[in-house]
Amino acid sequence: MRKGYLVLENGAIFEGVLVGQETFTSGEVVFNTSMVGYEQVASDPSYAGQIVVMTYPLIGNYGVNLNSMESGGLSLRGLVVRELCPDPEHHDSQMKMEEFLNRYNLVALVGVDTRAITRVLRTRGTMGGVITESITRKDELVEMARLAVQPPPGGYVLQVTCREITSQGTGPRRVVLLDFGAKRSIATSLAQRGCEVITVPADTDAQRIMEFNPDGVVLSNGPGDPRDCPYAVETIGHLVGRVPIMGICLGHQLLALALGGVTYKLAFGHRGANQPVKDLQTGRIYVTSQNHGYAVEESSLPGSEAYVSFKNMNDGTVEGLKHRYLPLMSVQFHPEASPGPQDTRYLFDEFIAVMDKESGRACG
């Protein structure tokens, strides 16, 4: 057993045991409240640059199935858990969580009071941190933690986006998925509904996207501050009014910026599979899966002819947008779930109906 520590930029230290091949990492420390889905959390590109604290105390109890991964690798910097199950039980399990960590060279700090860390983050807000095997130079570690929240030049999106254009699925509709760090389940959800999904890199311009003659464009989830992606905002601005658009998570924020809105950083974000949101048109409450640290400022929207379609029931933040005249829709949460409740998967069907209407297919 190797003793290890999580050191936060405010000087707080939490002791545990290091698991995995690495012994040091740094990043923005955030917490996730999901009870299941640790495979998908670990492989979600939206966690690029972050150390994720899982509040649910038992992680790894059903093992790891690589078919459940949301990307081809891991983008997060580290994992902090209360208890790592040594003997998982599930008929689909391919390996233990510890083997998974070693396979992808990810360090985890185990045996930590994760709820105590969460209380600090909820009180002080997310902050930088380091996982280390030594705390003899605490002042240096605190400074490293403080610097760990700084994004790389150009932001994290360009680090996690795809490098090549790919296609999956067949059907009467063609959708271009603009990949800002897309989860695989977004493309899968569209393909299952009769769409050919063409996934393109985040910096693909509007002209190239329109060359595919798409019935619609989906703006994916992704990591970091949406204001680090001015190239994407420009592209989206050129697409607005030319093709139906659906934004998810970061894609929702980028669409808001393209419409003239403003975004801001939340104190500790929404990360978990239990976020209640209200459909402002029907009054219905849905439980959603979320992973984001930024939100759209509602007061910045009225002049853009966009209006709020969903709101978070916990803090009143904007959870969705629609446009009064154009075929645009976006949600801050994840309609594909993965992991999480499937309450809002119908939004993909709604977007497909919009595409069919715009193309005239619905009348055929």
Are residues 140 and 161 located together in one domain of the fold? no
**Catalytic (active site) residue 363:** no
CATH number at residue 195: 3.40.50.880
Average pLDDT of the residues of the chain? 96
Helix (H) or strand (E) holding 121: helix 114-124
Q: Over the stretch 292-331, which tens digit does the pLDDT of each residue have? A: 999 999 999 877 799 999 999 999 999 999 999 999 999 9
Write out the two tokens for 320: 């969705």
Q: Are residues 110 and 226 in the same domain?
A: no
∠180-184-186 over CA atoms, to 5°?
Answer: 80
Per-residue pLDDT at 21: 84
pTM of the model: 0.97
Chain mean position to CA 224? 9
Query: Are both 86 and 179 inside the same structural domain?
Result: no
Confidence of residue 360 (pLDDT cuts 50, 70, 90): confident
Q: The domain spanning residue 30 has which CATH number?
A: 3.50.30.20
Whether residue 58 is found in the same domain as residue 203: no
Query: Tokens 């990307």 label which residue?
Result: 71
More confident residue, 260 or 1: 260
Q: Does residue 336 have an active-site annotation? A: yes
- Look at residue 304 in the predicted model and tell me its pLDDT: 74
pLDDT higher than 90, residue 238: yes
Is 292 one of the catalytic residues?
no
Domain match, 294 and 180 both? yes
Instruction: Return the closest-CA partner of residue 259 out of 166, 322, 347.
Output: 322
Give the separation between CA 37 and CA 46, rounded to whole angstroms: 15
Rg over CA atoms, the chain:
20
Are the CB atoms for 349 and 336 separated by under 8 Å?
A: no
Q: Which of 249, 270, 292, 319 is catalytic?
A: 249
Among 115, 147, 179, residue at a domain's last position: 147
Do 11 and 86 belong to one domain?
A: yes
Q: By CB neighbour count within 10 A (0-12 exposed, 13-18 middle, 19+ buried), where does 40 fall?
A: buried
Q: How close are the terminal C-alpha atoms of the chain, in Å?
A: 66
pLDDT, mean of residues 9-32: 96
> Are residues 287 and 185 part of one domain?
yes
Task: Assess whether 322 and 191 both reside in one domain.
Answer: yes
* Choice among 252, 292, 323, 334 that is catalytic: 334
Q: Which of 147, 172, 207 is the endpoint of a domain? A: 147
Say whether pLDDT at 363 is over 50.
Answer: no
Give the CB-side neighbour count of residue 257, counting CA atoms within 13 A. 23
Same domain, 307 and 351: yes
| pLDDT score at 362 | 60
Same domain, 164 and 135: no
Amino acid at 254: L
Residue 152 covered by a domain: no
Residue 130 lies in a domain: yes
Residue 287, in any domain of the structure = yes
Examine the domain organization and report whether 178 and 299 are in the same domain.
yes
Residue 84: pLDDT over 80: yes
Quickly count: other Cβ atoms within 10 Å of residue 280's Cβ. Answer: 15
Domain count, the chain: 2
Residue finishing a domain among 103, 123, 147: 147
Q: Average pLDDT for residues 339-356, to the nearest whole number?
A: 96
Residue 327 lies in a domain: yes
- Within-domain flag for 141: yes
What residue numbers bound the domain in which 258 lies? Answer: 157-363
Higher pLDDT, 26 or 1: 26
Is there a single domain that holds both residue 215 and residue 311? Answer: yes
